[in-house]
Amino acid sequence: MENAPLSHLEQRLIAHLQVIYPNLDTKDLADKCLAMFHLDPMTESPRPHRNLWDQSDIMLITYADTLRQKDEAPLETLHKFVKNKLSDCISAVHLLPFFPYSSDDGFSVMDYTTVNPSCGRWENIVNLSKDFKVMGDLVINHCSSRSLWFENFKAGVNPGANFFYEADPNADLSAVVRPRTSPLLREVQTQNGEKHVWCTFSHDQIDLNFEKPEVLLEFLRIIHLYLEKGIRWFRLDAVAFLWKIPGTSCINLPQTHEIIRLLRLMIEHYAPDSVIITETNIPNQENLTYFGNANEAHLIYNFSLPPLLINSLVTGNCSHLKQWLMSMPPAQQGTTYLNFLASHDGIGLRPTEGLLSEWELETLINTMKRFGGKISSRTTPQGEAKPYEINISLWNAFSGSALHGPDKWQFARFLCAAGVMMALEGVPAFYIHSLFGTENDLERVNNTGHFRSINRHIWDMEDLNHVLNTPTHHQKVFQSITKLTQIRRAQPAFHPNATQYILHMGENLFAFWRQSLDRRQSLFAVYNMTDQPQHFNLSELNLIATDIWTDLVSEQVYEDHLGKVTLMPYQFVWLANKKGKVKTS
């Protein structure tokens, strides 16, 4: 009896597996993948190039336990806050790792299948997913040295006996790209003698070995669990480092891209509304490759935006920001950018390579140090320490200017940055502390010994409610940002895939044009990036003469299309010919 012809899904899956595991029986492995994922081989492929988002999509980035209320699970506290205070402002919640962990605030995962009891239960995730899109972290490059897998590795038993990448300490590993200064290899005593395991990030974070198909199958099982719990957006953490070949840079290797394509194939066949985001904090041109041919990441992090925008606002010169955005290709339909200014990590500096000069980078670093920031380093292939990221809260980053230091324009600068991020092509994402204007948490840095803790403050809900309900900068930030998000979500010209065109209005004014997909709404966003008033003529914007133009931020109507506009320090306008209706509860 002849074998039944392979389905389209099976053919595509086998094609990916043949690239990743050329020496294995890929038909048998494909069957195991489908079984592990509970996926029918006859499942039809979703329609390609679909935009699974629109202008109403804004993401919140948060730890599960950033907000704490006495006698309540933090995930429940978070859900209540987001539902009561942000339902008109955001559509998606990115939950940073909420699993049992041993270090790095969650990114040393001990058990991928369990919710950390100190945060809550799976039920809390399921409930959150009923009200918002939920993005979960897939910490796919490494896991904790205290995980059951690693204990099994040392004991030589499964699961885990062959889950981790080993290397010869005498091999030439000088070409390996490192994001840290710690030694790459860690010596471990096992049941089978001394071994050296690969540790890209820290000696508590042991790199997994995807050369072993058992590791791939295990992660397919984990992803399926997350899908069953309501998670539909997946952040592939540190995925650029996934595949290792000694003698190479061990970053962005072809097998890594092929694994991402395979994961996307499986995930979108199981749940067609799912989205994959790759977290690749690397130079801009390398980052862009993770779109593939619209068959890898749906979204990629716009890692160059935070350092370039912060640099523009503290120097008053937007030339580099403008030049970078002009070089960025419009995302294909079905893909887009994730725009953010702050996250649980610091402000990455690798994405400025080739964009800022050494002198400009040094000026930015020194300015951030002046505002209380810390600097984390990495080791280059030449063995030297090089600044890798700036650790600072976004509120403190905008304390003043590079030239004059702290000044009175902190709030205006902060809001201007948020206004830029929300208007650019892509989906905007707010780190929860950027909604509150949370300051540098130096006490937490002292307690943990880690610079990244500076921007990982834990809010007691009683304290947070107090500062949000009294005249503080926290209240001012929260009210202003949430108002802007509501305006933003109503404008078709802010669709993540709407046309974007950068305008040339000098180095002090940053400006661009957006046009809705149906071409009905045009919107000109103009920002004063300096601490001095700036002027421009509306004639520079080429406004359609028959339309009425309104600044959506101030609601001022501009009837004279040839008139002169004055922007106060860090003021901005969103000039639109049609106003989308803002919904508020």
- pLDDT tens digits for 308-327? 999 999 999 999 999 999 99
**In this structure, are 128 and 147 located in the same domain?**
no
Q: Which DSSP category does 207 fall into?
A: E
pLDDT for 536 beyond 50: yes
**In this structure, are 343 and 232 located in the same domain?**
yes
The reply to whether 463 sits in an annotated binding site is no
pLDDT at 579: 86
**In this structure, are 506 and 400 located in the same domain?**
no
Amino acid at 557: V
**In this structure, are 299 and 349 located in the same domain?**
yes
The reply to whether 237 sits in an annotated binding site is yes
Label each residue of 498-564 as H, E or C. Answer: CEEEEECCCCCEEEEEEECCCCCCEEEEEEECCCCCEEEEHHHHCCCCCCCEEECCCCCEECCCCCE
CA distance 51 to 39: 24
Name the one residue in this structure whose structure tokens are 């987001």. Answer: 82
pLDDT by residue (tens digit) across 42-65?
999 999 999 999 999 999 999 999
The reply to whether 236 sits in an annotated binding site is yes
In a domain, 25, yes or no: no
pLDDT at 2: 57
The reply to whether 531 sits in an annotated binding site is no
The reply to whether 121 sits in an annotated binding site is no
pLDDT for 35 beyond 70: yes
Domain limits for position 191: 142-207
Provide, rounded to the nearest whole percent, the portion of the chain with pLDDT above 90: 95
> How many CA atoms are closer than 13 Å to the CA of 296, on its beta-carbon side?
23
pLDDT for 484 beyond 60: yes
The average pLDDT across 138-158 equals 98
In a domain, 152, yes or no: yes
pLDDT for 37 beyond 90: yes
The angle, 0 to 180 degrees and rounded to 10, between the axes of the packed helices 74-85 and 122-131 is 10
- The catalytically annotated residue of 237, 407, 441, 547 is 237
The average pLDDT across 343-360 equals 94
**In this structure, are 488 and 549 located in the same domain?**
no
Q: Which stretch of DSSP H or E encloses residue 478? A: helix 473-489
**In this structure, are 434 and 560 located in the same domain?**
no
> What are phi and psi for residue 542, nearest 5 degrees?
60, 55
pLDDT for 542 beyond 80: yes
**In this structure, are 443 and 314 located in the same domain?**
yes
pLDDT for 585 beyond 60: no
Domain total of the chain = 3
Catalytic residue flag (residue 237): yes
**In this structure, are 512 and 488 located in the same domain?**
no
The average pLDDT across 159-179 equals 95
Domain end marker among 476, 492, 508:
492
**In this structure, are 261 and 198 located in the same domain?**
no
Please, what sign has the CA dihedral across residues 536, 539, 540, 541?
positive
In a domain, 421, yes or no: yes
pLDDT for 1 beyond 90: no
Residue 184, domain CATH = 3.90.400.10
The reply to whether 264 sits in an annotated binding site is no
**In this structure, are 447 and 563 located in the same domain?**
no
Residue 110, domain CATH = 3.20.20.80
CA distance 293 to 71: 49
**In this structure, are 190 and 313 located in the same domain?**
no
380 pLDDT band, cuts 50/70/90, is confident
In a domain, 529, yes or no: yes
580 pLDDT band, cuts 50/70/90, is confident
**Where is average pLDDT lowest: 133-142, 277-286, 407-416?**
277-286
In a domain, 291, yes or no: yes
CA distance 290 to 251: 12
Name the one residue in this structure whose structure tokens are 């890898």. Answer: 296
